[in-house]
Amino acid sequence: MKIKDIEVGNLFLAPMAGVSDVGFRKVCKMLGADLTYVEMINVNALLHENEHTKKLLETAVNENIKVVQIFGHDPEVMAKAVASPLLEKFDIIDINFGCPAPKIVKNGDGSALLKHLDKIAQICKSCTDATSKPITAKIRIGFDANENNAIEVAKVCEQNGISAITVHGRTRAQMYSGTVDYETIKKVKQAVKIPVIGNGDVVDEKSLKNMLDTGVDGVMIGRGALGRPWIFSELRGKSVNNKFDIIKCHVDTLRKYYSDDELCVTLRKHFLWYINGIPMAAKYRLLLATTNNLDESLDILKKVYQGEQD
């Protein structure tokens, strides 16, 4: 598939706040993700050149196609963000119209915009006018069950210069519960000419097939990759044996940008995801949740993955 003039594969890592850090993206790319998105960036923080935001914008050496996702609701501010020197290195800029988080929606951002097609049109046009780079968008199928307007939103995005659209097959009201609406994703694909990427509950080969059967051009994986960056290899039929080495690469990459004290807090959720489903997980979960030493955490994970359990 092509996003404007950029040729890409069809398996993408979703931009997940607090998850899609530069280390995690690096290992997902190593393991077969075709595109890896920097987690969603607040345009106001970007324009103020916030130091934390600058760190979030770090990219891995193997991210040959660099993609960042931004969020906001003011068309002029969004356009200024697109033109920011901080985004100069990115090849594709994605706009978030789908985040369901209460604090995002309360501020009129993310999926709150699904109720305002005129504002979506203004944001898309202002952003696409501000750069020659491909601008893409991520949406949900509607704000709630009474407002399934994904087809209308997708058409508005296409008419205002958007080069590709990702559709999460749930409403904002559903958050992450209930089942993915494959039929709506299929209808969106049929309604527009730009590439459509399907998103929602892709965790194995069966769910991948269900998503591809909608006719989408690509598939975005979010929660299915938590603690499983190797899902991209597995979906391509490849086994992964060196899982601890992958985890260590994730950590070592982040150590270039953050102190161990910072990482003990931010990586804890990743470490807990990494041991989901393993034998005696409860024992190791307690150890990982209570240690404040990064090397101790790595030693615990090494025992788990290299079969050195007591």
Residue 138 lies in a domain: yes
pLDDT digit string (tens) for 47-78? 999 999 999 999 999 999 999 999 999 999 99
Residue 182 domain-assigned (yes or no): yes
Q: What does the chain come to in residues?
A: 310
User: Where among 193, 208, 234 does a domain terminate?
Assistant: 234
CA distances from 224 to 116, 188, 198 (A): 30, 23, 13
pLDDT confidence of 81, banded at 50, 70, 90? very high
- Residue 279 is inside which H or E element, if any? none
* Domain termination residue (choose one: 234, 251, 266): 234
DSSP letters spanning 3-60: ETTEE--SEEE---TTT--HHHHHHHHHTT-SEEEEEEEEHHHHHTT-HHHHHHT---
Q: Which pLDDT value is given to residue 309? A: 42
Tell me the sheet residues that pair with 6: 3
Question: Dihedral, CA atoms, 166, 167, 168, 169, nearest 10 degrees?
Answer: -160
Give the CATH number of the domain where residue 196 resides: 3.20.20.70
Annotated catalytic sites, by residue? Answer: 99
Rounded average pLDDT over 189-201: 98
Instruction: Give the domain range for residue 18.
Output: 2-234
Average pLDDT over residues 145-159: 96
In a domain, 310, yes or no: no
- Among 182, 227, 176, 224, residue whose Cα is nearest residue 204: 224
Domain total for the chain?
2
The pTM is what? 0.95
Question: 185, 204, 234 — which closes off a domain?
Answer: 234
